[in-house]
Amino acid sequence: MGIHAYFRSLGGLERIIRCPGKFKFEEHSVAAHSWKVVQYAKTLADIEEQHGVKIDWKKLYEITSSHDYGEIFIGDIKTPVKHSSPQLRALIQQVEEGMVHHFIEEHIPSEFKSIFYTPAA
């Protein structure tokens, strides 16, 4: 299919409303949340740099901008639910990572797969 499948898939994050349920403070999409996480991390990293800490900006942006990409496949599940048991968290993570892996294998050309398979932190 090509890398355009990935670019098209990003629109899905705009249509997933984040954290439905009882403790919802504001309504926003997963994409809006991801953008806020990038901005928080950038601001905190800027402050750290002012104090002499070396920042790996590429890694910071890779991790923060894509940390919820798998929610395109499984939706947004509240953190307290995900972490209610180690077994449940492991199963959710396994399903999410498996679906992302399948998407990459199915849609991303071989020469670009290494971009999407970033090593774990």
How does pLDDT run across 38-87, given as a tens digit for each residue?
999 999 999 999 999 999 999 999 899 989 999 999 988 888 888 899 99
> Which residue matches tokens 């806020």?
36
pTM of the model: 0.77
Q: What are phi and psi of 81, to 5 degrees?
A: -70, -50
Q: How many whole angstroms separate alpha carbon 62 and alpha carbon 117?
A: 11
Q: Is 70 exceeded by the pLDDT of residue 99?
A: yes
**What are the beta bridge partners of residue 29?**
17
In terms of Cα–Cα distance, which of 57, 64, 56 is closest to 40?
64
Say what the pLDDT of residue 26 is. 73
Pick the CATH number of 4-116 from 3.30.365.10, 1.10.3210.10, 1.20.1250.20, 3.60.10.10: 1.10.3210.10
Domain borders along the chain are: 4-116
